[in-house]
Amino acid sequence: MRSAQPAGFPRGFARAPSRPRDDRFDIAVPATEQRAIAAGWLLLGVAALIGAGVFSILLVLARTPFFASLVPAGDFFRVALVVHVDLSVLVWFVSMAGMLWTIDTSPRLLWLGWVALFAAALGTAFMALAPFTGAAAPVMSNYVPVLENDAFLYGLVVLGAGFLLLTLRSFAAPARMSLQLDGSDALRFGLKAAAVSSAVALMAMVWSIVEVPRELDAATYYELLFWGPGHVIQFTWTLLMLVAWAWLATLTGSPLPLSPRVVVLIYAIGLVSVFFAPLIYLNWTVPSVEYRKMMTWLMRFGGGLAILPMVLALAVALVRRVASTPATRPLRASLITSLLLFSAGGVIGFLIQGSDVRVPAHYHGSIVGVTLALMGLAYALLPRLGFREATGRIANWQPWLYGGGQLLHILGLMWSGGYGVQRKVAGAEQTLRTTQEVFGMGLMGFGGLLAIVGGILFVWVVLDSVIAARRAR
């Protein structure tokens, strides 16, 4: 007999049937149509990484001494940079959020899940193909660089619509949480917190559209348009990384030395900062200098309140010696490299002065830290999504190669930034004058190429797993 639900309980936080308490941070993947939708989001993310990888090869060569003269600079470099960033960051993160939020929902409104996935895939295709459809003037706005091209802008709007529908479904069809707050409840709380953060970011996007004057030049318009939403959405990606850390630590046999209730508190602290964004919009106009400064301070200091205790807890967990298995080695490698890269990016963020290549060193470290955590979680969920388990030498080495290459990449950028090498330029425009500058950018290029190989190997492992599973059916 079904127990009555107490009045006043939100659907997503309803009292679940009593079950033995389990403090393991793990969530079961529904064996329903939800699993197919979640798998679709994962494959969209992999497709985005394939496209980003093609453009990243051109980017690294365009910045690497001796090779740079072989690759056109100027607009070619900037067009490639726009597409690379949007595919490898925006589409990849949206896709992984789609996979995780689909897992953390009930079997309701599945048609909305399919529509969201189709819209995101269609928008991604238009964005990737835009450079080949005609003139595409690059606008190097922060967070979401843009091509002034009808196909690209149409694709960006359609992708945004897909993300909006994905977020709406996470609220309309949430998976239940029990009041006992065990390990799975803690992860579900973190995923729901990330969905709330994305809703605030979407609200900020609408607010910016209303307030930013359209008559501004393209560079100023898109910079102001994405400044607020871009800062807020970083909390979403960070919360997803913190969920991945707790999940992977459990799966690798190195659980966090924290109770589920403490982890819920950390996720809640990470979410609270998001609600300062509407206050910033209410008190300062989007074009104002004060608005830009407040958004920057919000991201710089707000997220650290939740990140620092999780970094320390994860470091303690990883120090413990555990017996590894073929299935856990790629997960542990992803977890360690994620922690290292995200921490390095955070430290560099406090060393930035001006607009040199230390800026991309900071966000490459932070973004790649999130990416490695989500890559490891993708490996862990492959068999639960109906695919073959990710094991073997390639899977074992991929996180080390990708993470190690990115570490060299950001160290080279950090070194060169200290000598004043400017960001968002390539080839002869870099004006590398000294041996130190050439060495730094050469280290950047070598690390970037290693990271590209690591990214290719991730795609290889996932596609090999998918193909092997389908052949076995």
Residue 259 has pLDDT above 60, yes or no: yes
Residue 123 has pLDDT above 70, yes or no: yes
Contact status, residue 48 vs residue 84, Cβ threshold 8 Å: no
* Rounded average pLDDT over 141-162: 94
Provide the pLDDT for residue 457: 94
Residue 360 has pLDDT above 70, yes or no: no
Residue 421 has pLDDT above 70, yes or no: no
Provide the pLDDT for residue 462: 95
Domains of the chain and any CATH numbers: 30-175 (1.20.120), 193-251+255-321 (no CATH), 329-473 (1.20.120)
Provide the pLDDT for residue 256: 92
Q: What is the pLDDT of residues 280-332, one digit of tens each?
A: 999 998 888 888 888 888 877 776 777 888 999 999 999 887 878 888 999 99
Provide the pLDDT for residue 55: 77
* Rounded average pLDDT over 226-241: 93
Instruction: Please give the share of the chain, as a percent, with pLDDT higher than 70.
Output: 81
* Rounded average pLDDT over 97-105: 95
| Concatenated DSSP letters of 350-368 | TT--SSBTHHHHHHHHHHH
Contact status, residue 58 vs residue 80, Cβ threshold 8 Å: yes
Q: What is the pLDDT of residues 377-420, one digit of tens each?
A: 999 999 999 999 998 899 999 999 999 988 887 877 776 655 45
Residue 221 has pLDDT above 50, yes or no: yes
**Phi and psi at residue 355, to the nearest 5°:** -115, 65
Where would I find the beta strands (DSSP E) of 175-269?
A: none
First to last CA, the chain: 38
* 3-state SS class at 17: coil
* Rounded average pLDDT over 425-436: 50
**Phi and psi at residue 74, to the nearest 5°:** 60, -135
Provide the pLDDT for residue 60: 63
Provide the pLDDT for residue 127: 94
How far is 414 from 364, CA to CA, in rounded Å?
A: 11
**Mean of the per-residue pLDDT values of the chain:** 84
* 3-state SS class at 257: coil
Whole-Å CA distances, 340 to 45, 202, 299, 429, 430: 23, 30, 20, 32, 29
Residue 353 has pLDDT above 70, yes or no: no
Amino acid sitting at position 313: A
Contact status, residue 352 vs residue 359, Cβ threshold 8 Å: yes
Closest CA to 374 of 216, 207, 243: 243
